[in-house]
Amino acid sequence: MQLDIFLNVAVGGILTGLVYGLMALGLSVIFGVVRVVNFAHGEMMTIAMYAAITLFAAFHLDPLVMLVPIAAVLFAFGYALQAGVINKFITRPEHSQFLLLIAIGIIIVNVLLIIFGPDAQNVQVPYAFDSFKLGPLIVDATKVYAAGVAILVASALFAFFRYTPVGTAIRACADNHTGALVVGLDVRRLYALTFGLGAACVGAAGCLLLLIFDVTPSVGPAYTLLAFIIVITGGLGSMPGALLGGVLVGFTEALAGLLFTPSAKSMFAFAILVLMLLFRPQGIMGKRAA
């Protein structure tokens, strides 16, 4: 197998992986702070994807442009969800929380199925078939743009958490819930904010992913699982870990698709997950031991 095929596939995988990473970043942020496992993560992303498709069909607006408004809508959705429903579940037993979000996920998938039907849909952007040449590398333009924007969004999120007062307050919440209450932080509002941010992340990721893949209502659950694999691999609660995990998974998937049959590539992601759970449950960059 020639080096350039390998390189092309690998680079493509890494770029896709960055977008996966952005998706997983949302999950990591939500779990790291609110300590809720968002089993409807991928399903929320499909909402964004279908929104982008609809807007594209109506107004021919590029998903990259639609990214900001769609992310904003997802933010509002996430905020409302946390504030209205999930906040009440913080003290309930774990399995109650999972099932709440699983139920929401099921509802999302089937509403989308009813509205949009089961067939695969995508957007045909003008540059869909463009590519960049860099020496022996030929890389899809869509992947480059998607990955680039993903990095931008992730950086914005990092900056938010690092440098803004609200971001710092959220990090305080995550570190020490009781301490945060004691110093007078409105924890419930911060939780809602965080869930909104995580949802916005996944909304942005959805717009970007649409440039690379088709969407059907049933990809939601598959992406939820993928997001979990990435987050567990990279480290629950670690933001760089989510990106790193995303890149790792994107890379492995692409290569597995090349070396074995494409349809078996997800088996490798699962194998990584099982190995991670066994030997390093806190992930590559995780701070806390799971």
Partner 1 sequence: MIERLTAGVPRRALVLLGVLLAIFLVLPVLAGDYVLTVLILILYFGYAGLAWNIMMGFAGQLSLGHALYVGLGAYTAGALYVHFGIGPWIGLLAAVAIAALAGAFVGFLAFRFRIAGVYFAILTIAVAEFARVGFDHLSWTRGSAGLFLPVAQYAHNDLWHLRGHPVMFYYVLLAAIALAFVASRLLLQSRTGYFWLAIREDEEAARSVGIDTFLYKMLAVVISAAMTAFAGVIYAFYYNNLFPEQVFNITHSILIILGPMVGGIGTLFGPLLGAFLLESLAESLRTLLELIGVDLPGINQLFFGIMLLLVVIARPEGVWPWIATRLGLAGAQK
Using CB atoms within 10 Å of the CB of residue 140, give its burial: 0 to 12 exposed, 13 to 18 middle, 19+ buried.
buried
Tokens of 1: 């197998």
Task: Choose one: 12-20, 53-61, 157-165, 264-272; the region binding partner 1 (CB under 8 A).
Answer: 264-272
Which residues from 139-178 bind partner 1, rule CB under 8 A? none
- What CA–CA distance (Å, rounded) separates 37 from 195? 11
Of the residues 64, 228, 247, 251, which one makes contact with partner 1 according to CB under 8 A: 228
- What CA–CA distance (Å, rounded) separates 35 from 38? 9
Query: Is residue 104 close enough to count as binding partner 1 by CB under 8 A?
Result: yes
**Minimum CB separation from partner 1 for residue 125, in Å?**
29
Q: Strand, helix or coil at 130?
A: coil
Which residues from 34-73 bind partner 1, rule CB under 8 A? 37
Taking the least distance from each CB to partner 1, the nearer of 8 and 87 is: 87
Task: Choose one: 72-80, 133-141, 169-177, 272-280; the region binding partner 1 (CB under 8 A).
Answer: 272-280
Of the residues 120, 183, 274, 287, which one makes contact with partner 1 according to CB under 8 A: 274
Query: Is residue 24 close enough to count as binding partner 1 by CB under 8 A?
Result: no
CB 141 within 8 Å of CB 132: yes
Taking the least distance from each CB to partner 1, the nearer of 155 and 261 is: 261
Query: Is residue 85 close enough to count as binding partner 1 by CB under 8 A?
Result: yes
Q: Strand, helix or coil at 140?
A: strand
**Minimum CB separation from partner 1 for residue 166, in Å?**
27
Site string for partner 1, 106-145 (x = CB under 8 A): xx-xxx-xx--xx---------------------------
Tokens of 25: 């970043």
Of the residues 25, 55, 100, 149, which one makes contact with partner 1 according to CB under 8 A: 100
| Helix (H) or strand (E) segment spanning residue 131 | strand 131-134
**Residues in Cβ contact with 247 at an 8 Å cutoff, skipping those fewer than 6 apart:** 14, 17, 18, 20, 21
Residue 202 is which amino acid?
V
**Minimum CB separation from partner 1 for residue 107, in Å?**
4
Tokens of 188: 């419930």
Query: Is residue 83 close enough to count as binding partner 1 by CB under 8 A?
Result: no
Compute CA distances 108 → 25, 206, 228, whole Å. 21, 15, 19
CB 162 within 8 Å of CB 172: no
**Minimum CB separation from partner 1 for residue 75, in Å?**
22
Taking the least distance from each CB to partner 1, the nearer of 92 and 287 is: 92
Of the residues 96, 155, 168, 176, which one makes contact with partner 1 according to CB under 8 A: 96
| Burial profile 1-35: b = 16 or more Cβ within 10 angstroms, e = fewer | eeeeeebbbbbbbbbbbbbbbbbbbbbbbbbbbbb
Residues within the interface to partner 1 (CB under 8 A): 37, 85, 92, 94-96, 98-100, 102-107, 109-111, 113-114, 117-118, 217, 221, 225, 228-229, 232, 261, 263-264, 266-267, 270-271, 273-274, 277-278, 281, 290
